[in-house]
Amino acid sequence: MIGGATQLVAIVGSPIAQVKSPVNFNTWFQDNGLDLSMIPIELSADALAAFIECLRGWQNMRGCVITVPYKQVVSKYLDHLSPRATLLRSVNVIRREADGTLLGDNVDGEGFLTAARQQGFEPQGQKALVLGAGGVGSAIACSLCEAGLSELVLTDLDSGRAKALADVLHNAFPAVRIGLAYHSLAGFALVANASPVGMLDTDELPLPAAMLETLTSGCLVADVVTTPAVTPFLQRAQALGALIQTGPQMARAQMGNLGAFMGVTALGI
Ligand code: NAD
């Protein structure tokens, strides 16, 4: 129950009715006896600047999760950005400090890594393949580099997008070897689909089916797609004996990273 003293967080986007965060956060707040609540805010684009300005004086609002279509546009209204939000030019969470200052970060990649670490994957010194260099693929690639990966291969149907991301990451993380092509999956400790391929029960795969036969034993095969939870890509990898990580596992793990940034949950919940 929301009372007069309840502290708020929000998720802001358009459309918003489909998001699962309010139920997940509110269940967690209730189970942990916290007087906190997450509200969904369906915001039109022309109200974004005024909303962010209002947030500065909204004293019982601790922070906001930012979702489609505002992740790339919201940063210009904030006071400070984390280094990775600056690098990615994308914000998916805002913290409101007590004095009304607004700080933005992007924890999409951290959520992915939290889930991967829960499966035993540790990026330090490893080689990873990320298929898809859009919003989520960029965030995952950046977090892998931050965590000390030794080699990263990036692909995208839009080769210019993959190249642009590789250039940005190369400048920020010169110690990581970054490539744009692969001929086998041998040697990769992580293969991640960060494209929408496999959504809505199509049989499409983000790489040629025969390539999966070259997976190294012990490789973690991950997907960001949330519906279906186990995509055709993951099904095939699992049938070949690979360890898999689903999109819902990433989304669930990310809750801890989002909540910790806003100061309302613990990391790794
Ligand atoms: P986006 O449009 O920014 O990027 C997708 C990229 O994939 C594009 O650059 C596109 O060219 C590329 N692509 C498409 N087909 C490809 C293929 N066969 N091989 C390589 N690249 C290919 O989208 P986004 O915001 O990055 O979202 C991607 C997916 O991630 C969506 O399905 C979204 O629902 C999902 N998502 C999951 C979570 C989670 O927590 N699990 C969080 C956010 C988004």
Statement: residue 203 has pLDDT above 90 = no
Q: How confident is the model at residue 200 (pLDDT cuts 50, 70, 90)?
A: confident
Statement: residue 268 has pLDDT above 80 = no
CATH architecture of 7-106: 3-Layer(aba) Sandwich (3.40)
- Beta carbon of 157 within 6 Å of any ligand 1 atom: yes
Q: How confident is the model at residue 266 (pLDDT cuts 50, 70, 90)?
A: confident
Domain 109-249 in this protein, CATH class: alpha beta
**Where exactly are the structural domains of the chain?**
7-106, 109-249
Kindly state the tokens that stand for 150. 């030794």
Mean pLDDT score, 225-253: 95
* Residue entry with tokens 């991640």: 192
Question: What are the tens digits of pLDDT across the range 97-147?
Answer: 999 999 999 999 999 999 999 999 999 999 999 999 999 999 999 999 999
The answer to whether residues 49 and 55 touch, using CB atoms and an 8 Å cutoff, is: no
Residue 127 is among the residues annotated as catalytic for this protein? no
- Integer Cα distance of 263 and 203 in angstroms: 41
Question: What are the tens digits of pLDDT across the range 27-68?
Answer: 999 999 999 999 999 999 999 999 999 999 999 999 999 999
* Residue entry with tokens 């092509």: 181
Question: What are the tens digits of pLDDT across the range 124-135?
Answer: 999 999 999 999
Residue owning the nearest CA to atom 43 of ligand 1? 136
- On average, the pLDDT of the chain sits at 96
- Beta carbon of 135 within 6 Å of any ligand 1 atom: yes
What is the Cα 241 distance to its own chain's centre?
Answer: 26
- Beta carbon of 250 within 6 Å of any ligand 1 atom: yes
The answer to whether residues 247 and 229 touch, using CB atoms and an 8 Å cutoff, is: yes
Range with top average pLDDT, 18-22, 156-160, 251-255:
156-160
Ligand 1 atom index nearest CA of 133: 9
Task: Give, rounded to a whole angstrom, the gap between the first and last alpha carbons of the chain.
Answer: 22
Residue owning the nearest CA to atom 9 of ligand 1? 134
Q: Give pLDDT, residue 97.
A: 97
Q: Give pLDDT, residue 269.
A: 78
Q: Is 12 helix (H, G, I), strand (E, B) or coil?
A: strand
- Integer Cα distance of 229 and 212 in angstroms: 19
* Matching fold, domains 7-106 and 109-249: yes
Q: How far is the CA of 195 from the centre of ligand 1 (A)?
A: 3
Q: Is 118 helix (H, G, I), strand (E, B) or coil?
A: helix
